[in-house]
Structure 1
Amino acid sequence: MSELAIIGANSKVVMHFAIKLDDGSAADSTRVHGKPARLTIGDGNLTPNFENCLLGLKAGDQREFTLEPADAFGEPNPQNIYRVEHSRFSADAPAEVGNIIAFTQPDGRELPGIIRDISGSMVTVDFNHPLAGQRVTFAVEILSVE
């Protein structure tokens, strides 16, 4: 019987994961669509802290890791909150509290922002990660490691 590969630097990993909040609600899950995540350790798709939790695991392993905000999606940064003129929004992307709207950056990339407040002609848009400031639990099931 051959030994299973263990997750290390540059490993290609296929896994199911769920992100749970302290109140028990699920913020994200690959099982919802039945499509596992594929990633390479060290490619920047996961935070280093989350990658460190995966190191040493192998196919078949199931674990849960609870990460504090600074180790997961960071603390909210007040510099990522902007006030924008209401006139910059359209019927296709209306400024309504709670909406997530993609804003095109000067380099052509899109950055999602959450509408937090509308006051008169100004709209407050938060570009922090939606889970910034929250402690999260990652539940993972490793399907394969190369």
Structure 2
Amino acid sequence: MSKPQIIDQNSQVVLHFDLKLTDGSAADSTRVNNKPAKLVMGDGSLTPNFEQCLLGLSVGDKKEFKLAAQDAFGMPNPDNIHYMDISRFGQDTPAQVGMIIAFTQPDGTEMPGIIREINGHSVTVDFNHPLAGQDVVFAVEIIDIH
């Protein structure tokens, strides 16, 4: 009888996950499109704290973990709030509160920002992760381990 595979730091993992806020509202889920996530432990697709939750799990395991905000997506950083002139927004991407817009960085990479406020010609854009400052529940079902 073969020993069950267990997730370690070098595993490639196929899993379903549900990410919820502590009030039960859904934040993200692979089940919506029934497409499990594939990840390589340590590749940066999950934070170290999320990866820590997976270590030691086997195929078929279903677990739920509650992570405090600082262990999940961190706390909001005031340095990630920027004020931009409304003229930087065009007709194809008008500034609207709540809208998430991808902004191109000087190095060409894109970073999403949430428009938090529009006050005259000043637009407040928040580049913190949308779940920063939120405690989350991370529920996983391990499908395969390589």
Structure 1 and Structure 2 fold alike (TM over 0.5): yes
Quote the residue 1:18 is aligned against. Answer: 18
Cα distance between partner residues in 2 of 1:104 and 1:87: 16
Cα distance between partner residues in 2 of 1:38 and 1:75: 27
Cα distance between partner residues in 2 of 1:143 and 1:91: 45
Correspondences of 1:46-65 after superposition (within 5 Å) = 46-65=46-65
Quote the residue 1:39 is aligned against. Answer: 39
Q: Percent identity?
A: 66
RMSD: 0.7
Q: Which portions of structure 1, spanning 4 or more consecutive aligned residues, are displaced by more than 4 angstroms? A: none
Q: TM-score, normalised by structure 1?
A: 0.98
Deviation of 1:138 (Å): 0.3
Deviation of 1:4 (Å): 2.2
Cα distance between partner residues in 2 of 1:14 and 1:91: 41
Higher mean C-alpha deviation, range 57-66 or range 87-96: 87-96
Quote the residue 1:128 is aligned against. Answer: 128
Cα distance between partner residues in 1 of 2:71 and 2:7: 20
Deviation of 1:30 (Å): 0.3
Correspondences of 1:99-114 after superposition (within 5 Å) = 99-114=99-114
Deviation of 1:21 (Å): 0.4
Q: TM-score, normalised by structure 2?
A: 0.98
Give the SS at the match of 2:31: helix
Cα distance between partner residues in 1 of 2:89 and 2:129: 21
Cα distance between partner residues in 2 of 1:10 and 1:125: 38
Cα distance between partner residues in 2 of 1:110 and 1:98: 18
Cα distance between partner residues in 2 of 1:111 and 1:23: 28
Cα distance between partner residues in 1 of 2:94 and 2:17: 32
Give the SS at the match of 2:14: strand
Q: Does 1:139 align with 2:145?
A: no
Task: Name structure 1 gaps, 5 residues minimum.
Answer: none
